[in-house]
Every structure is written in structure tokens, then in C-alpha cells.
Amino acid sequence: MTDTAARPHTDEPRQRAAPPSDTAPLDDPLRGFFDEIERLGIEHRRAAGEADLAHLKRLERWGLAAAAAGTVASLFRPNPLTTALIAQGQSTRFLMMHHISHKGYDKVPGVPERLTSKFFARGRRRVVDWLDWIPPDAWHVEHDHAHHYHLGEESDPDVLDRNTKALREAGRSPAEIRTIIGLFACAWTLVYYGPRTMAVLQRKRDKQSVENLPTSVETLNLRSEDGREALKRTVVPNGAVRFVALPAMALIFGRRRARNMLLNLLIAEVVRNLHLFLVITPSHTAADLRRFDEPAVGRREFIVRQIIGSANYRVGGDALDFAQLWLNYQIEHHVWPDLTMLQYREIQPKLAELCERYGVPYIQESVWKRLGRTLRVLDGTETMVVSEIDANDPATWAA
């Protein structure tokens, strides 16, 4: 891996021909900003070590403990603590997949093979490492590549503002739209994220554009070969293990215990979906963030887009960051996608200070405020700016 900021693992982002304004002027006031971005990335990658690995393993233990406690307690009547423990246990696997898939731990000295991108959740290890509605290889293509390298463009499959446009065009009131979104959020990894990642994977495999993706219903159409594949790889594995096999195993304790487990698992699934919706969707959807109508021109613009197209939440110690699944460091994660979780906490104040020094917009608020801004875009109360920027003119960077 090269020591560069936000560098793609394989395919480079599509780029249009650079206009004259993209060429840095001789008297370049922003050179220090971009040089510092590169220096920080190199410095932190080289510093990865035992503390980073110990930190990852500690978070994994927290997640396993939550999952184990929740699973045992699920034999009894459903209650908020049980479902929260189960949900957090599952979400911890998503947290690990997110950073391991980005190769954040591949070059940490002493990292075990099971915690590397080439092994984690691959093949049969999907059941052990990250059993979800989202196939791991589809996530890698859809998120690690299509989303990260085309943030906010039409080629970004995760532009929620665009993907919910039909709700606003149907003439529904903001209250009606929010009600629909609330119901959608209860199961969005099943009805939206899983099918969408499979659609991107299938399009990429067939060397087709990922723009104008089919709906989830179209993706899971059993009359097509792709639809049967998508259903088999999204719905069947997680559904069969989590909601059939586990309650069936609980039958040894009696039907009532098995029924309690099934109810707890179903409620926990709703809780997990709401939690993920809360911490994922506000990252790139708000009127004070940017969308882009063309591919990036050069590395400078690519880096700037990661900053002005993303938002952070409040950051702190392990408890707060763990609760937000480390998605409170989205700006840093998009600038340097292959750092460890501990390094994001260390590098965040440095990037925030650097942006302030050079007048670069750096958005950070509580997750609840960010959710409110996201909902105002989704219900049509506010809109996101979609335009081009000049990589050498910070005056064009603000939304």
C-alpha cells in the first residue's frame, strides 16, 4: 500500500479533463494544506503498532460479550436491555468489517490473519465474522470502491438525497415522508442496503454502470438469475441462521424459551437497524454538505471532496466512539480510509486544526443534530448543493 491519503486500493476514480483552474498557481497558498494531509497519512500509517491491534481486540471482546449476554437473556421475556445487547453485538461485527475491509489493519505488525482484509468474513468465515443481510464481497465493491472513490457523485450508490427523490416528487407532506422513512429505517439493511450492494456487485461484474440502479424489488426478482443469486446471498444466510436455526436450537429449553428468543432477535433487528440508520445516514446527507455533478479533477479536488462532503459527530473515548460505531470520524475516514480506529481518534484534532487554519469547511456536530439536518433534506424542507468546485479556491468549497 502506498503512503497516500484517500488512495484507492484498485481502480482510480473516474476523472474528467482538468480545466486550467485545476493547475496549482506558482504562488500556491494551499500547498501547505495538501502537503500536511500527505505527511499526516504517512506518519500515522508508519506508527501503527501493538496498541492499535490491542484496541481492535478489546472492541471485539466488548461486542462478543454483548452478543453472548444478549443471546442468553433472549431465552426470557423481551426487554430493552436484552435487545440492545444483541443489537450492539451484531453492530460490532459491522464496525470491524468496516475498518478491516478497508485494509486498516493489514500492515499492523503482528496482526493475525483472521483480522486482515483477505481473510475476515471471506467465504465460510462470513458466518463467524460478519453475518448480515449484506454479502461481504458486495460491501467491498459497493462501499469501499463505488462510494469512497465517487463520494457524492452520480456514481456513488449511497447518495440518500437522490435515492429518496421519488418520495418528495410524489407530493407527500414532510410529515408523511418522515413517517415512511422511520418505517424504512426499521429494516433498511434488509430492504435497501443488502439488495443495493448486490446490485452494484452484479453491475460491476457485468462491467456496467452503477448509475440508475434497480430497486430492491427488481434486484430480488426471482424470475431472473441475478435476482435468485441476490436473494440467496442476502436474505437466506442471515435469515436462516439468525431467525430459524438459533430459535430452533432454543427448543431444547422448551417452546416458550424458543419463542422468547425469536421475539428478542426480531426486536433486536429493528433496534440494530435504527442504530445503524442513526449513525450512518447523517454522514453525507445535509444542506451544509456538498454533492458533485462531475467526477473529481485530480488528487487535490478528490481530497477536498472527502472533507466537504462528509460530517463528523462528537468524538471522545472508547464508550462514545463505540456507541457511534466509529462513524463519528467520517471526515478522517474518507481522507485516509486505511487507518486504524485508534489512529482516527489521534489524527482527528490535527485535521480539524489544519482545516481551520486554511479556511476549509469542517463540519462536526452531535449525531442528533446531524440526523435532524438529514431528515430536513429527505423530507424536502432543505436541499443539498450539487455543483463543481475549484480545487485551488476555498471560496467555492462551502455549501
CA distance 233 to 216: 14
Coil, helix or strand for 242?
helix
Reading the chain (399 residues) residue by residue, the pLDDT tens digits are 434 444 333 444 444 444 434 555 556 889 999 999 999 999 999 999 999 999 999 999 999 999 999 999 999 999 999 999 999 999 999 999 999 999 999 999 999 999 999 999 999 999 999 999 999 999 999 999 999 999 999 999 999 999 999 999 999 999 999 999 999 999 999 999 999 999 999 999 998 888 889 989 999 999 999 999 999 999 999 999 999 999 999 999 999 999 999 999 999 999 999 999 999 999 999 999 999 989 998 999 999 999 999 999 999 999 999 999 999 999 999 999 999 999 999 999 999 999 999 999 999 999 999 999 999 999 999 999 898 898 888 888 887
Task: Write down the pLDDT at residue 8.
Answer: 39
Q: What are the Cα distances from residue 51, in Å, to 94, 105, 180, 322?
A: 21, 12, 44, 17
Task: Write down the pLDDT at residue 64.
Answer: 98
**What's the whole-model pTM score?**
0.91
For cell 481530497, what's the residue? 303
The answer for residues whose C-beta is within 8 angstroms of residue 38's C-beta and 6 or more apart is: 3, 4, 5
Specify if 9 maps to a domain: no
Specify if 12 maps to a domain: no
Specify if 19 maps to a domain: no
Task: Write down the pLDDT at residue 26.
Answer: 55
Specify if 156 maps to a domain: yes
Task: Write down the pLDDT at residue 393.
Answer: 87
291's enclosing H/E stretch is: strand 290-291
Specify if 13 maps to a domain: no
Nearest alpha carbon to residue 274 among 334, 186, 353: 186
Show the cell assigned to 169. Answer: 416528487
Specify if 4 maps to a domain: no
Domain region containing 237 = 28-396
Please give the tally of structural domains in the chain: 1
Task: Write down the pLDDT at residue 399.
Answer: 78
Specify if 14 maps to a domain: no
Specify if 309 maps to a domain: yes
